[in-house]
Amino acid sequence: MALDVTVARFNPMRRLLSGEDEKFLVRQGFRREASRVRANHRQFFFGFVDMLETDFGAVHAARKRAMAGNWDFETLLKERLTAAYYLWALRTAGYMHFMNLPQAARVADACFERVRPLISMPALAPAAVRA
């Protein structure tokens, strides 16, 4: 089984809601362009959240398959609900960005850190060959 799920590809989403690029453009006198950049960043952020949700689904399905005959329903349910909550919180951060709330970037960053372990796959990595 080969899953191509890496947390590193989500690193760009961490700065999309920061507002640094828009502030720079406003300081240079490009207000209209800053508004477009802001909207594009938010659109890309939501795209990243969708990709994150897809990757979580793939990892979750792989974990279920790995449990084959020895299911731990409680752990799987807890993982699914935790991921759903933090994905919802990430989307909320995107809407906070739309409303110009300065906390959006901090909320997104904190939630991303909480979701990160849910899409990593240390338990599914191939076991080391013992000599």
Integer angstrom CA distances of residue 9 from 60, 61, 97, 120, 127? 18, 20, 22, 12, 25
Write the pLDDT tens digit of every residue in 21-77. Answer: 999 999 999 999 999 999 999 999 999 999 888 888 888 888 888 877 777 788 888
Higher model confidence: residue 3 or residue 78?
78
Residue 103 pLDDT > 60, yes or no? yes
pLDDT at 29 (0 to 100): 94
Residues 6+ apart with CB under 8 A from 57: none
pTM for the structure as a whole: 0.79
| % of the chain exceeding 70 in pLDDT | 85
Split at pLDDT 50, 70, 90, the class of 121 is low
Residue 118 pLDDT > 60, yes or no? yes
Residue 129 pLDDT > 50, yes or no? no
Write the pLDDT tens digit of every residue in 63-95. Answer: 888 877 777 788 888 888 988 999 999 999 999
